[in-house]
Amino acid sequence: MTTQSPWPENTVARYLTVGGATVDITHDTRYVGDTQPNVSHAQCNGCPAYTHSGWAAHAGRWDNGSAGADSAACAWAQSHAETCRAMPKPA
Ligand SMILES: [Zn+2]
32-60: per-residue pLDDT in tens? 899 988 899 999 999 999 999 998 866 56
What is the domain partition of the chain in residue ranges?
11-83
Distance in Å, CA 32 to ligand 1 centroid: 25
**Are 18 and 82 spatial neighbours (Cβ–Cβ below 8 Å)?**
yes
Residue 88, C-beta contacts closer than 8 angstroms, at least 6 positions apart: 1, 2, 19, 20, 21, 22, 45, 46
Average of per-residue pLDDT values in the chain: 88
Ligand 1 centre to CA of 55 (Å) is 23
What pLDDT is attached to residue 2?
A: 55
How large is the average pLDDT for residues 25-37?
Answer: 90
- Residue 46 Cα, ligand 1 centroid: separation in angstroms? 5
Q: Would you place residue 62 in the very low, low, confident or very high pLDDT band (cuts 50, 70, 90)?
A: low
